[in-house]
Amino acid sequence: MDKLIIEFSKYVLITLMVIYTLQSILIFAKRSEEAREFLFIRQNVVMFCLHFVAFMVLYLQMNQSQILFFYGEQALYLAATLIFFRHLYPKASKLAINNMCMLITIGFIMVTRLSYDQSVKQFQICVIGTVIALIVPWLISKLKFITKFAVVYAILGIGLLVAVAVMATVTNGAKLSLTIAGITLQPSEFVKIIYVFCIAGMLSKSTEFSQIVKTTILAAVHVLILVISTDLGSALIYFMTYLIMLYVATRDWKWLALGFGAFVVAAVAAYFLFAHVRVRVEIWKDPFSVYEGSGYQVAQALFAIAAGGWFGTGLYQGSPTEIPYVDQDFMFAAIAEEMGSIFCICTILICMSCFIMFVNIAMKMTKNFYRYVALGLACTYAIQVFLTIGGSMKMIPMTGVTLPFVSSGGSSMLSTLIMFSVIQGLYILRKDEDDSFEDEETGDTGFGAVLAVIMRRETGINFKFYAAENDLGTPPAILWVPMYPWMLNEKERGITESDLYDLCRKYMDELEIFCDPEEMELEYYS
Protein backbone atom coordinates (compact mmCIF):
# COMPACT_ATOMS: atom_id res chain seq x y z
CA MET A 1 0.00 0.00 0.00
CA ASP A 2 2.81 2.38 0.91
CA LYS A 3 4.50 1.79 -2.43
CA LEU A 4 1.22 2.59 -4.22
CA ILE A 5 0.85 5.84 -2.27
CA ILE A 6 4.43 6.84 -3.01
CA GLU A 7 4.06 6.08 -6.72
CA PHE A 8 0.79 8.03 -6.93
CA SER A 9 2.22 10.92 -4.90
CA LYS A 10 4.84 11.86 -7.48
CA TYR A 11 2.10 12.60 -10.03
CA VAL A 12 0.20 14.60 -7.41
CA LEU A 13 3.32 16.63 -6.62
CA ILE A 14 3.97 17.33 -10.30
CA THR A 15 0.34 18.35 -10.84
CA LEU A 16 0.43 20.73 -7.88
CA MET A 17 3.71 22.21 -9.07
CA VAL A 18 2.34 22.77 -12.59
CA ILE A 19 -0.78 24.45 -11.19
CA TYR A 20 1.29 26.76 -9.02
CA THR A 21 3.61 27.67 -11.90
CA LEU A 22 0.74 28.42 -14.28
CA GLN A 23 -0.76 30.72 -11.67
CA SER A 24 2.58 32.54 -11.32
CA ILE A 25 2.52 33.21 -15.06
CA LEU A 26 -1.18 34.09 -15.27
CA ILE A 27 -0.79 36.74 -12.59
CA PHE A 28 1.19 38.92 -15.01
CA ALA A 29 -1.80 38.96 -17.36
CA LYS A 30 -4.34 39.92 -14.68
CA ARG A 31 -5.11 43.65 -14.28
CA SER A 32 -7.91 43.28 -11.78
CA GLU A 33 -6.74 43.33 -8.16
CA GLU A 34 -9.55 40.95 -7.21
CA ALA A 35 -8.48 38.42 -9.84
CA ARG A 36 -4.83 38.62 -8.76
CA GLU A 37 -5.75 38.18 -5.10
CA PHE A 38 -7.74 35.06 -5.98
CA LEU A 39 -4.70 33.58 -7.73
CA PHE A 40 -2.46 34.44 -4.77
CA ILE A 41 -4.76 32.57 -2.41
CA ARG A 42 -4.87 29.58 -4.76
CA GLN A 43 -1.08 29.59 -4.86
CA ASN A 44 -0.95 29.41 -1.07
CA VAL A 45 -3.39 26.49 -1.01
CA VAL A 46 -1.41 24.62 -3.66
CA MET A 47 1.88 25.26 -1.85
CA PHE A 48 0.60 23.88 1.47
CA CYS A 49 -0.91 20.86 -0.31
CA LEU A 50 2.41 20.13 -2.01
CA HIS A 51 4.25 20.48 1.30
CA PHE A 52 1.80 18.10 3.02
CA VAL A 53 1.93 15.41 0.32
CA ALA A 54 5.73 15.46 0.18
CA PHE A 55 6.12 15.13 3.95
CA MET A 56 3.53 12.38 4.05
CA VAL A 57 5.79 10.43 1.68
CA LEU A 58 8.87 11.28 3.75
CA TYR A 59 7.13 9.99 6.87
CA LEU A 60 6.11 6.74 5.18
CA GLN A 61 9.68 6.22 4.01
CA MET A 62 11.53 7.26 7.17
CA ASN A 63 8.89 6.04 9.65
CA GLN A 64 10.03 8.54 12.27
CA SER A 65 7.57 10.54 14.35
CA GLN A 66 9.98 13.48 14.42
CA ILE A 67 9.23 14.03 10.73
CA LEU A 68 5.62 14.84 11.64
CA PHE A 69 6.70 17.39 14.25
CA PHE A 70 9.20 18.85 11.80
CA TYR A 71 6.47 19.15 9.19
CA GLY A 72 4.27 21.03 11.67
CA GLU A 73 7.09 23.46 12.49
CA GLN A 74 7.70 24.13 8.80
CA ALA A 75 4.00 24.61 8.04
CA LEU A 76 3.71 27.04 10.96
CA TYR A 77 6.77 28.93 9.71
CA LEU A 78 5.38 29.23 6.16
CA ALA A 79 1.99 30.41 7.43
CA ALA A 80 3.62 32.94 9.78
CA THR A 81 5.87 34.26 7.00
CA LEU A 82 2.91 34.83 4.69
CA ILE A 83 0.83 36.47 7.43
CA PHE A 84 3.55 38.72 8.84
CA PHE A 85 4.80 39.96 5.47
CA ARG A 86 1.29 40.76 4.29
CA HIS A 87 0.25 42.32 7.59
CA LEU A 88 3.36 44.43 8.10
CA TYR A 89 3.67 45.41 4.43
CA PRO A 90 0.24 45.53 2.73
CA LYS A 91 1.85 47.03 -0.37
CA ALA A 92 4.47 44.27 -0.70
CA SER A 93 4.53 42.06 -3.76
CA LYS A 94 2.41 39.02 -2.94
CA LEU A 95 3.86 37.14 -5.90
CA ALA A 96 7.40 37.61 -4.56
CA ILE A 97 6.30 36.43 -1.11
CA ASN A 98 4.55 33.39 -2.57
CA ASN A 99 7.45 32.45 -4.84
CA MET A 100 9.92 32.88 -1.99
CA CYS A 101 7.88 30.57 0.23
CA MET A 102 7.40 28.04 -2.58
CA LEU A 103 11.13 27.81 -3.30
CA ILE A 104 11.83 27.52 0.44
CA THR A 105 9.23 24.73 0.59
CA ILE A 106 10.99 22.83 -2.20
CA GLY A 107 14.26 23.29 -0.30
CA PHE A 108 12.69 21.99 2.93
CA ILE A 109 11.44 18.87 1.16
CA MET A 110 14.67 18.03 -0.63
CA VAL A 111 17.11 18.83 2.19
CA THR A 112 14.98 16.77 4.62
CA ARG A 113 15.01 13.88 2.17
CA LEU A 114 18.82 14.07 1.83
CA SER A 115 19.78 14.75 5.45
CA TYR A 116 17.40 15.26 8.36
CA ASP A 117 20.11 16.76 10.59
CA GLN A 118 21.15 19.25 7.92
CA SER A 119 17.51 20.16 7.28
CA VAL A 120 17.04 21.06 10.94
CA LYS A 121 20.02 23.45 10.76
CA GLN A 122 18.72 24.88 7.48
CA PHE A 123 15.28 25.44 9.02
CA GLN A 124 16.72 27.25 12.04
CA ILE A 125 18.78 29.54 9.82
CA CYS A 126 15.73 30.18 7.65
CA VAL A 127 13.67 31.26 10.67
CA ILE A 128 16.40 33.63 11.87
CA GLY A 129 16.88 34.99 8.35
CA THR A 130 13.17 35.62 7.93
CA VAL A 131 13.04 37.65 11.15
CA ILE A 132 15.87 39.80 9.80
CA ALA A 133 14.20 39.99 6.40
CA LEU A 134 10.99 41.35 7.96
CA ILE A 135 12.91 44.45 9.06
CA VAL A 136 14.68 45.17 5.75
CA PRO A 137 11.73 46.65 3.76
CA TRP A 138 11.10 49.14 6.57
CA LEU A 139 14.78 50.12 6.54
CA ILE A 140 14.73 50.62 2.76
CA SER A 141 11.67 52.87 2.97
CA LYS A 142 12.93 54.94 5.91
CA LEU A 143 16.68 55.24 5.40
CA LYS A 144 16.75 57.47 2.33
CA PHE A 145 20.40 58.35 2.96
CA ILE A 146 21.54 54.86 1.87
CA THR A 147 21.90 56.30 -1.63
CA LYS A 148 24.89 58.41 -0.59
CA PHE A 149 27.41 55.90 0.74
CA ALA A 150 28.82 54.19 -2.35
CA VAL A 151 32.40 54.51 -1.10
CA VAL A 152 31.45 53.12 2.32
CA TYR A 153 29.84 50.10 0.62
CA ALA A 154 33.03 49.62 -1.40
CA ILE A 155 35.30 49.76 1.66
CA LEU A 156 33.08 47.38 3.63
CA GLY A 157 32.75 44.89 0.77
CA ILE A 158 36.42 44.90 -0.15
CA GLY A 159 37.40 44.62 3.51
CA LEU A 160 35.29 41.50 4.01
CA LEU A 161 36.60 39.88 0.84
CA VAL A 162 40.20 40.64 1.83
CA ALA A 163 39.55 39.05 5.24
CA VAL A 164 38.41 35.87 3.49
CA ALA A 165 41.40 35.88 1.14
CA VAL A 166 43.81 36.24 4.07
CA MET A 167 42.18 34.25 6.86
CA ALA A 168 40.02 31.55 5.28
CA THR A 169 41.17 27.99 4.79
CA VAL A 170 41.09 26.33 1.38
CA THR A 171 38.01 24.14 0.79
CA ASN A 172 37.67 22.27 -2.51
CA GLY A 173 40.26 24.52 -4.11
CA ALA A 174 38.79 27.85 -2.96
CA LYS A 175 38.82 30.17 0.05
CA LEU A 176 35.15 30.65 0.82
CA SER A 177 34.30 30.77 4.52
CA LEU A 178 35.25 32.33 7.83
CA THR A 179 34.49 30.77 11.20
CA ILE A 180 33.72 33.27 13.96
CA ALA A 181 32.68 32.06 17.43
CA GLY A 182 31.87 28.66 16.03
CA ILE A 183 29.66 30.10 13.29
CA THR A 184 30.77 29.54 9.69
CA LEU A 185 29.87 32.26 7.21
CA GLN A 186 30.56 32.80 3.51
CA PRO A 187 31.05 36.59 3.29
CA SER A 188 30.88 36.73 -0.52
CA GLU A 189 27.18 35.85 -0.27
CA PHE A 190 26.50 39.01 1.73
CA VAL A 191 29.05 41.21 0.00
CA LYS A 192 27.26 40.73 -3.33
CA ILE A 193 24.35 42.76 -1.92
CA ILE A 194 26.69 45.47 -0.61
CA TYR A 195 28.49 45.35 -3.96
CA VAL A 196 25.26 46.05 -5.86
CA PHE A 197 24.56 49.03 -3.57
CA CYS A 198 28.10 50.30 -4.24
CA ILE A 199 27.83 50.07 -8.02
CA ALA A 200 24.33 51.58 -7.98
CA GLY A 201 25.55 54.49 -5.89
CA MET A 202 28.47 55.18 -8.22
CA LEU A 203 26.48 54.98 -11.46
CA SER A 204 23.55 57.00 -10.10
CA LYS A 205 25.90 59.95 -9.49
CA SER A 206 27.00 60.15 -13.09
CA THR A 207 27.66 58.11 -16.20
CA GLU A 208 30.46 60.34 -17.43
CA PHE A 209 33.60 58.55 -18.58
CA SER A 210 35.60 59.48 -15.48
CA GLN A 211 32.88 58.13 -13.19
CA ILE A 212 32.64 54.91 -15.21
CA VAL A 213 36.41 54.44 -14.83
CA LYS A 214 36.15 54.86 -11.04
CA THR A 215 33.24 52.45 -10.86
CA THR A 216 35.03 49.91 -13.03
CA ILE A 217 38.09 50.06 -10.76
CA LEU A 218 35.97 49.37 -7.68
CA ALA A 219 34.19 46.48 -9.42
CA ALA A 220 37.51 45.09 -10.66
CA VAL A 221 38.97 45.13 -7.14
CA HIS A 222 36.04 43.05 -5.86
CA VAL A 223 36.39 40.55 -8.69
CA LEU A 224 40.18 40.29 -8.45
CA ILE A 225 40.05 39.55 -4.71
CA LEU A 226 37.57 36.75 -5.42
CA VAL A 227 39.87 35.44 -8.15
CA ILE A 228 42.81 35.48 -5.71
CA SER A 229 40.62 33.49 -3.31
CA THR A 230 39.88 31.17 -6.29
CA ASP A 231 36.15 31.74 -5.66
CA LEU A 232 35.59 31.94 -9.41
CA GLY A 233 31.85 31.26 -9.29
CA SER A 234 31.24 34.35 -7.16
CA ALA A 235 33.73 36.33 -9.26
CA LEU A 236 31.71 35.54 -12.37
CA ILE A 237 28.46 36.63 -10.69
CA TYR A 238 30.02 39.92 -9.59
CA PHE A 239 31.49 40.60 -13.03
CA MET A 240 28.35 39.86 -15.02
CA THR A 241 26.19 41.85 -12.63
CA TYR A 242 28.41 44.91 -13.02
CA LEU A 243 28.48 44.57 -16.79
CA ILE A 244 24.69 44.50 -17.06
CA MET A 245 24.26 47.38 -14.61
CA LEU A 246 26.78 49.46 -16.57
CA TYR A 247 25.00 48.79 -19.85
CA VAL A 248 21.59 49.72 -18.46
CA ALA A 249 22.97 52.90 -16.89
CA THR A 250 24.74 54.05 -20.06
CA ARG A 251 22.66 52.28 -22.73
CA ASP A 252 25.89 52.00 -24.70
CA TRP A 253 26.61 48.70 -26.43
CA LYS A 254 30.30 49.60 -26.44
CA TRP A 255 30.64 48.79 -22.76
CA LEU A 256 28.81 45.51 -23.20
CA ALA A 257 31.14 44.49 -26.04
CA LEU A 258 34.25 45.50 -24.06
CA GLY A 259 32.98 43.59 -21.07
CA PHE A 260 32.44 40.39 -22.98
CA GLY A 261 35.87 40.79 -24.54
CA ALA A 262 37.38 41.13 -21.07
CA PHE A 263 35.43 38.07 -19.95
CA VAL A 264 36.87 35.95 -22.76
CA VAL A 265 40.41 37.09 -21.94
CA ALA A 266 39.86 36.44 -18.22
CA ALA A 267 38.41 32.99 -18.89
CA VAL A 268 41.43 31.98 -21.00
CA ALA A 269 43.80 33.37 -18.36
CA ALA A 270 41.99 31.48 -15.58
CA TYR A 271 42.30 28.25 -17.57
CA PHE A 272 46.07 28.54 -17.68
CA LEU A 273 46.57 30.02 -14.20
CA PHE A 274 44.41 27.71 -12.09
CA ALA A 275 44.76 23.94 -12.14
CA HIS A 276 41.27 23.32 -10.76
CA VAL A 277 39.78 25.41 -13.59
CA ARG A 278 41.52 23.17 -16.14
CA VAL A 279 40.15 20.15 -14.28
CA ARG A 280 36.60 21.52 -14.36
CA VAL A 281 36.85 22.28 -18.07
CA GLU A 282 38.03 18.74 -18.75
CA ILE A 283 35.16 17.39 -16.67
CA TRP A 284 32.74 19.58 -18.60
CA LYS A 285 34.08 18.32 -21.94
CA ASP A 286 33.84 14.63 -21.01
CA PRO A 287 33.12 13.67 -17.40
CA PHE A 288 32.93 9.97 -18.24
CA SER A 289 36.56 9.86 -19.35
CA VAL A 290 37.56 10.63 -15.75
CA TYR A 291 34.60 8.89 -14.13
CA GLU A 292 36.67 7.17 -11.45
CA GLY A 293 38.25 10.44 -10.46
CA SER A 294 37.33 14.10 -10.84
CA GLY A 295 34.44 13.47 -13.22
CA TYR A 296 32.49 11.28 -10.80
CA GLN A 297 30.35 14.11 -9.39
CA VAL A 298 29.15 15.47 -12.74
CA ALA A 299 28.69 11.99 -14.19
CA GLN A 300 26.52 10.94 -11.27
CA ALA A 301 24.47 14.12 -11.64
CA LEU A 302 23.86 13.31 -15.31
CA PHE A 303 22.88 9.74 -14.39
CA ALA A 304 20.44 11.11 -11.82
CA ILE A 305 18.82 13.52 -14.31
CA ALA A 306 18.50 10.75 -16.89
CA ALA A 307 17.07 8.29 -14.34
CA GLY A 308 14.39 10.74 -13.30
CA GLY A 309 12.91 11.28 -16.76
CA TRP A 310 9.83 13.46 -17.03
CA PHE A 311 8.04 12.26 -13.88
CA GLY A 312 10.87 11.26 -11.55
CA THR A 313 11.44 8.11 -9.56
CA GLY A 314 9.54 9.45 -6.54
CA LEU A 315 10.83 10.61 -3.16
CA TYR A 316 13.27 8.09 -1.68
CA GLN A 317 13.08 6.00 -4.85
CA GLY A 318 16.29 7.40 -6.36
CA SER A 319 19.94 7.59 -5.31
CA PRO A 320 20.77 11.31 -5.16
CA THR A 321 23.10 10.74 -2.20
CA GLU A 322 25.51 9.07 -4.63
CA ILE A 323 26.33 12.59 -5.89
CA PRO A 324 29.02 14.29 -3.75
CA TYR A 325 27.84 17.61 -2.25
CA VAL A 326 24.40 16.97 -3.73
CA ASP A 327 22.63 19.16 -1.15
CA GLN A 328 24.71 22.19 -2.17
CA ASP A 329 26.09 22.29 -5.72
CA PHE A 330 23.89 19.63 -7.33
CA MET A 331 20.50 20.01 -5.69
CA PHE A 332 18.96 20.49 -9.14
CA ALA A 333 20.10 16.99 -10.14
CA ALA A 334 18.51 15.53 -6.98
CA ILE A 335 15.21 17.24 -7.78
CA ALA A 336 15.37 16.01 -11.38
CA GLU A 337 15.93 12.40 -10.30
CA GLU A 338 13.17 12.06 -7.72
CA MET A 339 10.68 14.78 -8.72
CA GLY A 340 11.18 14.65 -12.50
CA SER A 341 12.05 17.04 -15.31
CA ILE A 342 8.56 18.57 -15.36
CA PHE A 343 8.96 19.57 -11.73
CA CYS A 344 12.41 20.99 -12.54
CA ILE A 345 11.08 23.03 -15.45
CA CYS A 346 8.41 24.48 -13.18
CA THR A 347 11.08 25.37 -10.62
CA ILE A 348 13.02 27.20 -13.32
CA LEU A 349 9.87 29.05 -14.41
CA ILE A 350 9.23 30.16 -10.83
CA CYS A 351 12.78 31.51 -10.65
CA MET A 352 12.18 33.27 -13.98
CA SER A 353 8.97 34.75 -12.60
CA CYS A 354 10.98 36.24 -9.72
CA PHE A 355 13.53 37.66 -12.13
CA ILE A 356 10.88 39.22 -14.40
CA MET A 357 9.19 40.81 -11.43
CA PHE A 358 12.52 42.19 -10.17
CA VAL A 359 13.31 43.71 -13.57
CA ASN A 360 9.79 45.14 -13.79
CA ILE A 361 10.28 46.86 -10.45
CA ALA A 362 13.66 48.18 -11.57
CA MET A 363 12.32 49.69 -14.76
CA LYS A 364 9.52 51.49 -12.92
CA MET A 365 11.63 53.10 -10.20
CA THR A 366 12.03 56.86 -10.67
CA LYS A 367 15.35 57.27 -8.84
CA ASN A 368 18.32 55.81 -10.64
CA PHE A 369 19.90 54.46 -7.46
CA TYR A 370 16.89 52.30 -6.63
CA ARG A 371 16.51 51.28 -10.27
CA TYR A 372 20.10 50.05 -10.45
CA VAL A 373 19.86 48.26 -7.10
CA ALA A 374 16.77 46.34 -8.19
CA LEU A 375 18.34 45.49 -11.53
CA GLY A 376 21.64 44.47 -9.93
CA LEU A 377 19.95 42.15 -7.45
CA ALA A 378 17.81 40.71 -10.25
CA CYS A 379 20.93 39.92 -12.28
CA THR A 380 22.75 38.49 -9.27
CA TYR A 381 19.85 36.15 -8.61
CA ALA A 382 19.34 35.10 -12.23
CA ILE A 383 23.05 34.49 -12.90
CA GLN A 384 23.36 32.35 -9.77
CA VAL A 385 20.35 30.26 -10.79
CA PHE A 386 21.79 29.81 -14.29
CA LEU A 387 25.24 28.81 -13.02
CA THR A 388 23.79 26.23 -10.65
CA ILE A 389 21.41 24.64 -13.11
CA GLY A 390 23.84 24.92 -16.02
CA GLY A 391 26.59 23.22 -14.02
CA SER A 392 24.27 20.38 -12.97
CA MET A 393 23.24 19.73 -16.58
CA LYS A 394 26.77 20.08 -18.04
CA MET A 395 25.75 23.15 -20.03
CA ILE A 396 28.69 24.99 -18.50
CA PRO A 397 31.59 23.97 -16.25
CA MET A 398 30.51 23.65 -12.64
CA THR A 399 31.12 26.73 -10.53
CA GLY A 400 30.21 25.59 -7.04
CA VAL A 401 27.37 28.02 -6.38
CA THR A 402 24.08 27.10 -4.73
CA LEU A 403 20.50 27.22 -5.96
CA PRO A 404 18.93 30.11 -3.98
CA PHE A 405 16.43 29.04 -1.29
CA VAL A 406 16.61 25.39 -2.40
CA SER A 407 20.17 24.22 -1.81
CA SER A 408 21.60 23.67 1.63
CA GLY A 409 23.73 26.54 2.89
CA GLY A 410 23.14 29.00 5.68
CA SER A 411 24.91 32.00 4.15
CA SER A 412 23.12 31.51 0.84
CA MET A 413 19.75 31.28 2.60
CA LEU A 414 20.37 34.42 4.68
CA SER A 415 21.65 36.51 1.79
CA THR A 416 18.81 35.48 -0.53
CA LEU A 417 16.20 36.31 2.11
CA ILE A 418 17.78 39.75 2.53
CA MET A 419 17.95 40.19 -1.24
CA PHE A 420 14.23 39.45 -1.65
CA SER A 421 13.43 41.79 1.23
CA VAL A 422 15.40 44.62 -0.37
CA ILE A 423 13.37 44.07 -3.54
CA GLN A 424 10.19 44.19 -1.44
CA GLY A 425 11.31 47.49 0.04
CA LEU A 426 11.85 48.91 -3.44
CA TYR A 427 8.47 47.57 -4.57
CA ILE A 428 6.80 49.33 -1.65
CA LEU A 429 8.59 52.57 -2.56
CA ARG A 430 7.25 52.27 -6.11
CA LYS A 431 3.73 51.61 -4.86
CA ASP A 432 3.98 54.66 -2.62
CA GLU A 433 4.96 56.69 -5.68
CA ASP A 434 1.95 55.43 -7.59
CA ASP A 435 -0.43 56.07 -4.72
CA SER A 436 0.69 59.62 -4.05
CA PHE A 437 0.36 62.82 -6.03
CA GLU A 438 3.37 64.22 -4.26
CA ASP A 439 6.64 64.25 -6.15
CA GLU A 440 9.29 62.07 -4.45
CA GLU A 441 12.16 64.48 -4.80
CA THR A 442 10.65 67.92 -4.31
CA GLY A 443 7.39 67.35 -2.52
CA ASP A 444 5.65 69.02 -5.45
CA THR A 445 1.88 68.73 -5.28
CA GLY A 446 1.29 71.06 -8.20
CA PHE A 447 -0.77 70.40 -11.27
CA GLY A 448 2.15 68.72 -13.09
CA ALA A 449 2.45 65.92 -10.54
CA VAL A 450 -1.32 65.57 -10.31
CA LEU A 451 -1.71 65.50 -14.09
CA ALA A 452 0.91 62.76 -14.47
CA VAL A 453 -0.88 60.56 -11.95
CA ILE A 454 -4.27 61.14 -13.57
CA MET A 455 -2.89 60.35 -17.02
CA ARG A 456 -1.21 57.19 -15.74
CA ARG A 457 -4.34 55.91 -14.05
CA GLU A 458 -6.69 56.73 -16.88
CA THR A 459 -4.57 55.56 -19.82
CA GLY A 460 -2.53 52.71 -18.39
CA ILE A 461 0.63 54.39 -19.75
CA ASN A 462 3.44 54.87 -17.21
CA PHE A 463 3.66 58.66 -17.24
CA LYS A 464 5.96 60.19 -14.62
CA PHE A 465 6.38 63.75 -13.38
CA TYR A 466 9.90 65.09 -12.86
CA ALA A 467 10.54 68.33 -11.08
CA ALA A 468 13.15 70.86 -12.06
CA GLU A 469 16.79 70.51 -11.15
CA ASN A 470 16.87 66.75 -11.04
CA ASP A 471 19.10 64.34 -12.95
CA LEU A 472 16.87 64.58 -16.00
CA GLY A 473 17.37 68.29 -16.27
CA THR A 474 15.02 71.23 -16.48
CA PRO A 475 12.34 72.36 -17.02
CA PRO A 476 9.79 70.25 -15.13
CA ALA A 477 8.41 67.56 -17.37
CA ILE A 478 5.92 64.77 -17.81
CA LEU A 479 7.82 61.87 -19.30
CA TRP A 480 7.07 58.50 -20.72
CA VAL A 481 10.38 56.71 -21.06
CA PRO A 482 10.01 53.25 -22.61
CA MET A 483 12.82 50.92 -21.56
CA TYR A 484 12.67 47.54 -23.24
CA PRO A 485 9.96 46.02 -25.48
CA TRP A 486 9.12 43.28 -23.01
CA MET A 487 8.47 45.85 -20.32
CA LEU A 488 5.73 47.62 -22.27
CA ASN A 489 2.08 46.97 -21.61
CA GLU A 490 -0.48 46.65 -24.40
CA LYS A 491 -1.35 50.33 -24.42
CA GLU A 492 2.29 51.38 -24.62
CA ARG A 493 3.15 49.32 -27.68
CA GLY A 494 3.11 51.28 -30.92
CA ILE A 495 2.81 54.72 -29.30
CA THR A 496 4.17 57.54 -31.44
CA GLU A 497 5.29 61.02 -30.55
CA SER A 498 2.19 62.40 -32.19
CA ASP A 499 -0.03 60.13 -30.09
CA LEU A 500 1.61 61.39 -26.92
CA TYR A 501 1.20 65.05 -27.81
CA ASP A 502 -2.45 64.51 -28.74
CA LEU A 503 -3.08 62.66 -25.49
CA CYS A 504 -1.43 65.38 -23.41
CA ARG A 505 -3.43 68.13 -25.13
CA LYS A 506 -6.62 66.15 -24.59
CA TYR A 507 -6.10 65.85 -20.86
CA MET A 508 -4.99 69.44 -20.47
CA ASP A 509 -8.07 70.62 -22.34
CA GLU A 510 -10.44 68.39 -20.35
CA LEU A 511 -8.94 69.57 -17.08
CA GLU A 512 -8.82 73.17 -18.27
CA ILE A 513 -5.10 73.34 -17.59
CA PHE A 514 -3.23 76.03 -19.42
CA CYS A 515 0.46 76.44 -18.83
CA ASP A 516 3.48 78.09 -20.32
CA PRO A 517 5.52 75.56 -22.39
CA GLU A 518 8.58 76.79 -20.52
CA GLU A 519 7.00 75.56 -17.28
CA MET A 520 5.69 72.20 -18.42
CA GLU A 521 6.77 70.10 -21.40
CA LEU A 522 5.84 66.76 -22.89
CA GLU A 523 8.95 64.87 -23.98
CA TYR A 524 9.15 61.82 -26.22
CA TYR A 525 12.10 59.43 -25.72
CA SER A 526 12.10 56.83 -28.48
pLDDT digits (tens, 9 = 90+) for 215-231: 999 999 999 988 888 88
DSSP code per residue over 249-280: HH--HHHHHHHHHHHHHHHHHHHHH-HHHHHH
At residue 84, the pLDDT reads 92
At residue 342, the pLDDT reads 95
Closest among 365, 399, 374, 153 to 244, alpha carbons compared: 374
Closest among 182, 186, 183 to 163, alpha carbons compared: 186
Amino acid (1-letter code) at residue 511: L
Tell me the Ramachandran region of residue 169: left when phi exceeds 0, alpha when psi lies from -120 to 50, beta otherwise: beta
Does the pLDDT value for residue 470 go beyond 50? no
Does the pLDDT value for residue 516 go beyond 60? no
For the segment 449-462, the average pLDDT, to the nearest whole number, is 73
When the pLDDT of each residue in the chain is averaged and rounded to a whole number, the result is 82
Does the pLDDT value for residue 436 go beyond 90? no
pLDDT digits (tens, 9 = 90+) for 232-252: 888 899 999 999 999 888 888
Q: Which residues, at least 6 apart from 345, have a Cβ–Cβ distance to it below 8 Å? A: none
Helix axes 65-88, 116-142, angle to 10 degrees: 10
Amino acid (1-letter code) at residue 317: Q
At residue 30, the pLDDT reads 67
At residue 518, the pLDDT reads 43
